[in-house]
């Protein structure tokens, strides 16, 4: 869904430009309505093409493309397993795909006539909802329904379990924080990306006087694109860590 706020200050992109030329036609309304989806699909196409060509001719002595892909996957795997441990390797494909997809969508907005799809809440909310359902599915699978309820209640034992009030309070607090995650996760990414696009649009209206500011903001934008993708995936990894069964919970000796 196209967000109306701030559109007058946003930089011109190719989809909006074509829609303006087709003003008043069904095609123009279609382009404006699906603008962010179009840019998200552009990034998806790039990811699919990269994955195809980097794995098409796998060899023991990798070429540059395969070597880069292996280095990228290895780095993402180290990131995930460094937080979740070896058991977390099964989540590397999901979290790694999120990172690649988000960072490319972020960087797309830095190309002239392109736009970051992550500046739309509909895109970031969809990603956050995927994270929410996968984390909750993992929690129910690993802990079971009653085990998960016990987990949300703060795992009360002894006197704490008998005092009912504290477990109920902890349960309500954890339940609220769990359901608020998709909103905080999505709004954090969307607000930073959208705010930067609006800022660049305002600076561009200054003409040549705004050029130094735009150059400086572009340099900061590179860092912002990386940081926002890392933060989104870091929080996703932490959400998985919070619901995973740890060794001490299984009665094993932790070395």
* pLDDT exceeds 80 at position 129: yes
* Higher-confidence position of 15 and 1: 15
Is 255 a residue whose pLDDT tops 80? no
pLDDT tens digit string along 131-175? 999 999 999 998 888 888 888 887 777 665 557 778 888 889 989
> Comparing C-alpha atoms, which of 119, 108, 84 is closest to residue 233?
84
Length of the chain as a residue count: 255
What pLDDT score does 159 carry?
Answer: 61
Distance CA 181, CA 178 (A): 6
Give every CB contact of residue 29 below 8 A, 6+ residues apart in sequence. Answer: 19
Per-residue model confidence as pLDDT tens digits over 55-97: 888 888 778 888 899 999 999 999 999 999 998 899 999 999 9
Model confidence over 116-126: pLDDT tens digits?
999 999 999 99
> Cα(214)–Cα(231) distance, rounded to whole angstroms?
24
Average pLDDT of 7-21? Answer: 80
CA 232-235-241 angle, to 5 degrees, is: 145
pTM for the full predicted model = 0.86
pLDDT tens digits along 173-211: 989 999 999 999 999 999 989 888 887 777 777 767 767
CA distance 12 to 78: 39
């Amino acid at each position: 869904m196209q967000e109306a706020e701030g559109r007058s200050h946003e930089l011109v992109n190719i989809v909006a430009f074509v829609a303006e030329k087709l003003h008043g036609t069904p095609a123009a309304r279609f382009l404006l309505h699906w603008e962010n989806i179009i840019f998200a699909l552009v990034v998806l196409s790039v990811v699919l093409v990269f994955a195809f060509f980097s794995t098409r001719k796998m060899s023991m002595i990798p070429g540059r493309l395969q070597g880069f892909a292996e280095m990228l996957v290895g780095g993402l795997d180290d990131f995930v397993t460094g937080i979740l441990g070896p058991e977390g390797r099964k989540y590397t494909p999901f979290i790694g795909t999120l990172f690649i997809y988000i960072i490319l969508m972020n960087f797309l907005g830095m190309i002239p006539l392109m736009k970051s799809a992550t500046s739309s809440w509909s895109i970031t909310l969809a990603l956050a909802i995927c994270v929410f359902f996968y984390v909750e599915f993992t929690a129910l699978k690993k802990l079971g329904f009653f085990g998960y309820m016990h987990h949300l209640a703060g795992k009360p034992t002894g006197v704490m379990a008998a005092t009912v009030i504290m477990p109920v309070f902890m349960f309500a607090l954890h339940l609220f924080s769990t359901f608020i995650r998709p909103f905080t996760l999505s709004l954090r990414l969307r607000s930073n990306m959208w705010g930067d696009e609006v800022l660049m649009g305002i600076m561009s209206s200054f003409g040549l006087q705004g050029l130094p500011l735009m150059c400086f903001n572009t340099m900061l934008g590179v860092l912002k694109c990386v940081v926002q993708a890392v933060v989104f995936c870091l929080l996703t990894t932490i959400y998985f860590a919070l619901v995973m069964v740890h060794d001490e919970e299984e009665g094993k000796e932790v070395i």
